[in-house]
A = this chain, B = another copy of it.
Amino acid sequence: MTHTKKKQPVAPRANLTMADLAELAGVSKITVSRALSESPLVNAETRERVQALARKHGYKLNVSARNLRLRRSHTVAVIVEMKPSSGRTMWDPYPLSLLGGISQELTSAGYSVLLTTRQGATDAPVQAADGIILLGQGAHQDAVRFYDRLGMPMVVWGAAEQGGDNHIVVGSDNRQGGISAAERFVSIGRRHPVFIGNPDHPEMAQRLFGFVDELANHGIKPLLLRRAEFTLESGIEAVRSLSDRKVRFDAIFACSDLLAMGAIRALVELGQSVPNDVSVIGYDDTPLGASFLPPLSTVRQNWQEGGVLLARKVLAQIHGQTVQSQMMATTLVVRAT
Contact = CB atoms under 8 A, between A and B. Distances in A.
B287 A231 contact: yes
Copies in the complex: 2
Contacts of A10: 72, 130, 318-320
Interface string A281-323: 0000001100101000000000010000000000000111000
| Among A9, A78, A96: residue with most chain B CB under 10 A | A96
Contacts of A13: 151-152
A67 interface: yes
A308 to B, nearest CB: 12
A113 B110 contact: no
A68 interface: yes
Contact of A119 (B108, B152, B232, B233): B108
A99 B89 CA distance: 11
Contacts of A74: 125
A40 to B, nearest CB: 20
B117 A115 contact: no
B232 A291 contact: yes
B291 A288 contact: no
Contact of A291 (B115, B116, B233, B291): B233
Contacts of A93: 93, 96
Contacts of A60: 124, 127
A146 interface: no
Interface string A72-110: 111100101000000001110100110110011001101
A110 B122 contact: yes
Nearest to A268: B293
Interface residues of A, number: 63
A114 interface: yes
Contact of A61 (B91, B97, B112, B124): B124
Contacts of A41: none
A96 B232 CA distance: 21
Nearest to A9: B320
B112 A113 contact: no
Nearest to A149: B58
A128 interface: yes
A64 B64 CA distance: 5
Interface in A38-87: 60-65, 67-68, 71-75, 78, 80
Contacts of A122: 110
A288 B117 CA distance: 26
9 contacts: A13-B151, A13-B152, A61-B124, A64-B128, A68-B68, A91-B100, A103-B117, A112-B114, A112-B125
Given A10-B318, A108-B120, 8 more contacts: A10-B130, A61-B124, A89-B100, A89-B304, A91-B99, A104-B119, A112-B115, A112-B120
